[in-house]
A and B are shown apart, each in its own frame.
Chain A
Amino acid sequence: MSDNIFFESTDPVSSPPPSNYDQKCLCVLCLDTSYSMSGQPIEALKEGVDAFFKHNKLDTKARRRIETAIVKFDSNVSWVQNPPLLADEVDIEGVKSNLQLGGSTKLVDGVFEAMRFIEERKAYYREHGVNYYRPFIILMTDGEPDSGQDIMGLSTAIREGVSNKKFTFWAVGTEGYNKDVLSKICQPRTLAGLRYAEFFEWLSSTLTQVSNSKPDQRLLPQPTDAWELSDLSAG
């Protein structure tokens, strides 16, 4: 290799990789932190988030390309994690300690905030010529939206957003969630027991697969049996 003149031409110090050359894969976690999550569920959720960040780092490209934002909803909607690149070292302990519980379930407001943020972030990417994959919104809840929230409005917004390819939407109901109400909003999957860690590892694998994909590549979904409660097993 030493006689290859081109290798001699590139010194990693004087010629570092071009800035922001990677396409971004944005994932917004929209997490229920209402009081009903107290005890084992919130601890399992924190462990799951921990596993998610750690798993994302296993793939070189994924760690540069996946951007994670976390919005939580209880009586209020607030941001736990703005999306720095994972390569910039997410403060996982800080994220976990920010997942504090508080009050009721402003689920609808939380998801609308995630959608608003996605459009804001896409505008930022476009402004700077950064390529990006279709973003993901992941909703996790153990309850149902507070009364008076615009369930039908959210349902329409999700349906339109998904069919117009604005984002990919996954809703995961955890123990105690109201499937009838959540089904009015979207098509929820049910988490088996406290398998948050299994779910987040699956999510990380899915995002890793997407963030490694090429133009026009069709992707097969990763199997969900490690974390999903299927109708058969429920029966």
Chain B
Amino acid sequence: MDWKHIKASILGKKNKARGLPCQDAMHVEINDAWSLAVVADGAGSASMSELGSREVCEFTSKYLKDEVLEAKIPLSAEKMKNCFLACHNHMKDYAQRRGYSLTSLSTTLIVAILYQNKLFIAHTGDGIAGVRKASTSKWEMAMNPHKGEYANETVFITMNIVAESPDSYIEIREYEEHEIDAFFLGSDGCEAATLERDTKEKGRKMKPYPNFFNPILKKLSDSPSTSDLDHMWSEFLREGTEVLYEEDDDKTLIMFYTSA
């Protein structure tokens, strides 16, 4: 399938005002055989989380390329879990070698891979990821964010509980590539603008907001290809909707879509 993508990661107003760098990091790499996208959101309270988020992006991408994608070995949920555990261990070593506390590098991690007719989406922590089913054009969540009871609590890949209970804190979902015609992954700074909750109906949790994603996909399919899409996308994430404009957190959003 002919996949295209747009990506942007922008510094939020809050960090900008404090003179801090963007604590989100992302990595996207595509070729004929596979596509790889990684998003990491460094904790606002951690002093060097921008280093943490960059390092987990780099490590995860290199690990998956070396161990799976370039080695042409089939990917499985087990291999993905091993990647996350290796990332956790790497961050421990990284912190120790440099004399940093592991907490100061706290970051979440979300990975999406299109490879050998499958789509894998895995994560630890919060953030957003969703897929659109090709047969129904309906969106659904591709991850259940790890949140504490309260809105300002989450889990980080750097936490020991991830290694102690990987099945609780590393969530992996697998899809047949042909069943999906779009998917996205991003940091929690984009959550308010892109997910909805229906309080009229009981038991319904949050889901991707179609009125956010569908008009964008339509615009992408209607527009002639332009090299400037990522720049436009980052401007859009900054202030494209009322909610995006008001959100002062760092915002990262990567979207993949198939051209009709």
Binding site for B on A (CB under 8 A): 1, 4-12, 14-23, 60-61, 127-134, 165, 210, 212-218
Chain A residues closer than 8 Å to B195, beta-carbon distance: 18, 21
Chain A residues closer than 8 Å to B198, beta-carbon distance: 19-20, 128
**Contact assessment for B199 and A15 in the assembled complex, using a CB-CB cutoff below 8 Å:** no
Chain A residues touching B, majority SS = loop
Contact of A5 among B147, B151, B232 (CB under 8 A): B232
**Contact assessment for A6 and B236 in the assembled complex, using a CB-CB cutoff below 8 Å:** yes
Chain B residues closer than 8 Å to A5, beta-carbon distance: 219-220, 223, 226, 229, 232
Chain B residues closer than 8 Å to A215, beta-carbon distance: 43-44, 126, 151-154, 188
Chain A residues closer than 8 Å to B233, beta-carbon distance: 6
Interface range, B side? 35 or more
Check B114 for interface membership: any CB of A closer than 8 A: no
**Contact assessment for B219 and A21 in the assembled complex, using a CB-CB cutoff below 8 Å:** no
Within 8 A of A (CB), among B142-159: 147, 149-154, 156
Q: How far is the CB of A130 from chain B (nearest CB, A)?
A: 6
Q: Given the known A-B contacts A6-B233, A10-B240, are A165 and B193 also in contact in the complex, defined by CB atoms under 8 Å?
A: no
Q: How far is the CB of B258 from chain A (nearest CB, A)?
A: 18
Who on chain B is nearest to A127 by CB?
A: B202
Check B31 for interface membership: any CB of A closer than 8 A: no
**Contact assessment for A19 and B199 in the assembled complex, using a CB-CB cutoff below 8 Å:** yes
Check B215 for interface membership: any CB of A closer than 8 A: yes
Q: Given the known A-B contacts A17-B193, A20-B196, are A7 and B236 also in contact in the complex, defined by CB atoms under 8 Å?
A: yes
**Contact assessment for B151 and A129 in the assembled complex, using a CB-CB cutoff below 8 Å:** no
**Contact assessment for B150 and A132 in the assembled complex, using a CB-CB cutoff below 8 Å:** yes
Check B29 for interface membership: any CB of A closer than 8 A: no
**Contact assessment for B241 and A4 in the assembled complex, using a CB-CB cutoff below 8 Å:** no
**Contact assessment for A20 and B199 in the assembled complex, using a CB-CB cutoff below 8 Å:** yes
Tell me the complex Cα distance, A10–B156, Å.
33
Q: Given the known A-B contacts A9-B219, A10-B241, are A129 and B235 also in contact in the complex, defined by CB atoms under 8 Å?
A: no
Chain A residues closer than 8 Å to B216, beta-carbon distance: 6, 9-10
Q: How far is the CB of B172 from chain A (nearest CB, A)?
A: 22
**Contact assessment for A21 and B150 in the assembled complex, using a CB-CB cutoff below 8 Å:** no
**Contact assessment for B197 and A20 in the assembled complex, using a CB-CB cutoff below 8 Å:** yes
Check B99 for interface membership: any CB of A closer than 8 A: no
Tell me the complex Cα distance, A158–B211, Å.
44
